[in-house]
Amino acid sequence: MLPSKVDLCVVGAGTAGAALSYFAASQGLRVLCLDRRALGGAGARWVNGVSRSDFETVGLDLPKGDELRGEDTAFHLTIGRGPQRLTLRDHGVLEVDMRHFVRRLQTLAKEAGAVLVEHVTVEAVDGHMVRTAEGEVEATVIADASGLRGAGVLASRPVRRDDLCAAAQSVFAVADPAGARAFLDQHGVAEDETLCFSGVAGGYSILNVRVAHGEVGLLTGSIPADGHSSGSRLIEAFVAEQPWVGERLFGGARTIPLGPPQPVLARGHRARIGDAAGQVFAAHGSGIGPGMQAAKLLADTLAQGGTPQDYATQWMRTHGGVFAAYDCFRRFSQRRTLEDLRTLFRTGLIDEPGAAAALGQRLPEPDAALLARVPAGLWRAGPGIARDLAATASRMIAAMATYRVYPRSGALQPGWSRLAARLDR
Ligand SMILES: Cc1cc2nc3c(=O)[nH]c(=O)nc-3n(C[C@H](O)[C@H](O)[C@H](O)COP(=O)(O)OP(=O)(O)OC[C@H]3O[C@@H](n4cnc5c(N)ncnc54)[C@H](O)[C@@H]3O)c2cc1C
Nearest ligand 1 atom to the CA of 150 is 38
CA of 154 from ligand 1 middle (Å) equals 18
Whole-number Å distance, alpha carbon 181 to ligand 1 midpoint, is: 33
Is residue 93 within 8 Å of residue 359, measured between CB atoms? yes
Provide CATH 3.30.160 ranges for the chain.
Answer: 161-257
pLDDT of residue 239: 98
What's residue 425's pLDDT?
A: 62
Q: How far apart are CA 264 and CA 249, in angstroms?
A: 39
Distance 224 CA to ligand 1 centre (A): 19
CA-closest residue to ligand 1 atom 49: 42
Query: Which of 115, 218, 223, 286 is the best mutation target for the ligand 1 pocket, counting ligand atoms within 8 Å of the beta carbon and taking the most?
Result: 286
Give the pLDDT score at 96.
98
Superfamily of domain 5-68+98-157+261-319: FAD/NAD(P)-binding domain (3.50.50.60)
Q: What is the distance between the alpha carbons of residues 122 and 108, in angstroms, rounded to a whole number?
A: 23
**Residue 102 CA, ligand 1 centroid: distance in Å:** 10
- At 232, is the secondary structure helix, strand, or coil? helix
Do the Cβ atoms of 131 and 137 come closer than 8 Å?
no
Pocket of ligand 1 (CB under 6 A): 11-17, 34-37, 42-44, 46, 48-50, 121-122, 145-147, 151, 167-169, 219, 253-254, 256, 274-276, 280, 285-289, 291
pLDDT tens for the 425 residues of the chain, in order: 899 999 999 999 999 999 999 999 999 999 999 999 999 999 999 999 999 999 999 999 999 999 999 998 999 999 999 899 999 998 999 999 999 999 999 999 999 999 999 999 999 999 999 999 999 999 999 999 999 988 888 888 888 999 999 999 999 999 999 999 999 999 999 999 999 999 999 999 999 999 999 999 999 999 999 999 999 999 999 999 999 999 999 999 999 999 999 999 999 999 999 999 999 999 999 999 999 999 999 999 999 999 999 999 999 999 999 999 999 999 999 999 999 999 998 888 888 888 888 888 888 777 766 677 777 777 787 888 899 999 999 999 999 999 999 999 888 999 999 999 888 76
Pick the CATH number of 161-257 from 3.30.160, 1.10.10, 3.40.228, 3.40.50: 3.30.160
Spatial CA neighbour of 130 closest among 40, 18, 3, 26 = 3
Residue 411, CB-side half-sphere exposure with 13 Å CA sphere = 0
Distance 280 CA to ligand 1 centre (A): 10
Give the span between the Cα atoms of 291 and 16, in whole angstroms.
Answer: 5
Q: How far is the CA of 386 from the centre of ligand 1 (A)?
A: 36
Write the residue with the smallest CA distance to atom 11 of ligand 1.
286
Tell me the three state secondary structure of residue 212.
Answer: strand
| Per-residue exposure over 374-398, b if at least 16 CB sit within 10 Å of its own CB, e if not | beebbeebeeebbebbeebbebbeb
Domain with CATH 3.50.50.60 in the chain: 5-68+98-157+261-319
Provide the strand spans (E) within 175-287.
Answer: 194-198, 206-212, 215-222, 245-257, 266-267, 270-272
